[in-house]
Amino acid sequence: MSQLKKSWVESANSPDTPFPLNNLPYGVFSVGDDEPRCGVAIGDMILDVAAAEELGLIEISDDPVFDVPFWNELMELGSDAWVALRSRLEQLLAEGSTERAAVEPLLVAQAGADLHMPFLVSEYTDFYAGRQHAANMGAILRGSPDLPANWLHIPIGYNGRASSVVVSGTDIHRPNGQRKAPDAEMPSFGPSARLDIELEMGAIVGKPSAFGQPITVDEADDMIFGYVLLNDWSARDIQGWEYQPLGPFQGKAFGTSISPWIVTASALEAFRAPTPKREKELLPYLSGSKDGLYDIDLQVLMQPEGADKASVVGETNYTRMYYSAAEQLCHHAIGGCAMNVGDLLGSGTISGPTKTEYGSLMEMSWAGREPFTLDTGETRTFIEDGDTLTLRGAAKGDGFQIGFGDCVGTILPAVNWPK
Ligand code: MN
């Protein structure tokens, strides 16, 4: 078990901070009307790395890396630059650093900063790689928990929309769309009545693969720059009517929220964990040499409008996944699809074996048939207007944690349409 690395930023040494020196996650922030810029979270502060680069305290490349408000340019420099930046940041922020006097004026309080999208999303793909989630959805939708015939062999996915991805704190309108009750003659148009979340991890691709060229699982593992929490908001009634035979479309396209800090694969390295035992042997191209998952505790919280506190409605762990992000990325590229810097891969909904570990309201309320009760005494099946949903995650070390920062979204009423 790795130990806390101490920083001269006192708040970074607390066992409760998500952002000790061991973490150093990458975000984009602004204060007041200032332009957004790249920053690194440390304790309850943000180090303004754009300013640090301007002052010559950080020199990763001959050309500036942080003159833009996103982290893609660092990713494009490759893993030597990733390692160099991380070790330089540790040097600047470690307890006893000789450069403290130069760095301290570049710290900004997180409490006074707004956070923005930390990277430009090139493309977004979402998977369906949680075994319990797939079994639950089968039981709910098709009357049987049996997995589809391909499920234990292929990391099933669909191509989503980069334009749908927004940073934590962005409000989401309840979508309008087509839905059809099983016994209805015709579909109808209107606001989704079965609005849901999906608790997922998002993997960010930091190195490209060439068009026409497959990659191995180990190469895929090296291509992953970092991770965020990801809420794949889902309109179950719209999805249920549209999804056969080509998969989700409007039921998923109205918003996908990510947490604001990119937690690097390096920061998570000490928390690697194996994928579950294979029920069917995977084809050889899907095997790699490293443990592909990470031991990250995850929570879903729900807070009705006006309630003074949020209720924890689900708690699980990333190790509940059946397929790793590296396996998914390998499978994505295996036929020759080029992968690009800034590609975002959703893990699929993460659900554990018991009801308290479910990662969607569809499962928690068993398709609306079993309402659950919040700490406020209110009950829910699906999301109501004004509800705020939060995803929270952290890998727990000995006296420290690698946290992600909350992934928050509030649901606004549907847009009035047609006007
Ligand atoms: Mn999903």
Looking at residue 40, its amino acid is V
* pLDDT on residue 346: 98
How many whole angstroms from 133 Cα to the centroid of ligand 1? 10
* pLDDT on residue 141: 87
Give the pLDDT confidence of 44-54 residue by residue, as tens digits: 999 999 999 99
* DSSP run (H or E) holding 45: strand 45-48
How many whole angstroms from 360 Cα to the centroid of ligand 1? 10
**Enzyme catalytic residues:** 133
Residue 68 has pLDDT above 80, yes or no: yes
Q: How many CB atoms sit inside 10 A of residue 285's CB? A: 14
Average pLDDT, the chain: 97
For residue 283, name the pLDDT band (cuts at 50, 70, 90): very high
How much of the chain exceeds pLDDT 70, in percent? 100
Give the pLDDT confidence of 147-168 residue by residue, as tens digits: 999 999 999 999 999 999 999 9
- Tell me how far CA of residue 200 lies from CA of 85, 127, 176, 360, in angstroms: 28, 9, 24, 10
d(CA 130, CA 134) in angstroms, rounded, equals 6
How many whole angstroms from 168 Cα to the centroid of ligand 1? 17
pTM comes to: 0.98
Mark 355-383 as b/e (b = at least 16 C-beta within 10 Å): eebbbbbbbbbbbbeeebebeeeeebbbb
For residue 320, name the pLDDT band (cuts at 50, 70, 90): very high
* pLDDT on residue 1: 60
How many whole angstroms from 91 Cα to the centroid of ligand 1? 39
Residue 120 has pLDDT above 80, yes or no: yes
Looking at residue 354, its amino acid is T
Residue 234 has pLDDT above 80, yes or no: yes
Give the pLDDT confidence of 69-108 residue by residue, as tens digits: 999 999 999 999 999 999 999 999 999 999 999 999 999 9
How many whole angstroms from 125 Cα to the centroid of ligand 1? 9
Among the listed residues 89, 91, 87, 90, the one whose alpha carbon sits nearest the alpha carbon of residue 79: 87
Residue 312 has pLDDT above 80, yes or no: yes
Q: What is the mean pLDDT of residues 47-71?
A: 97
| Higher local confidence (pLDDT), 57 or 182 | 57
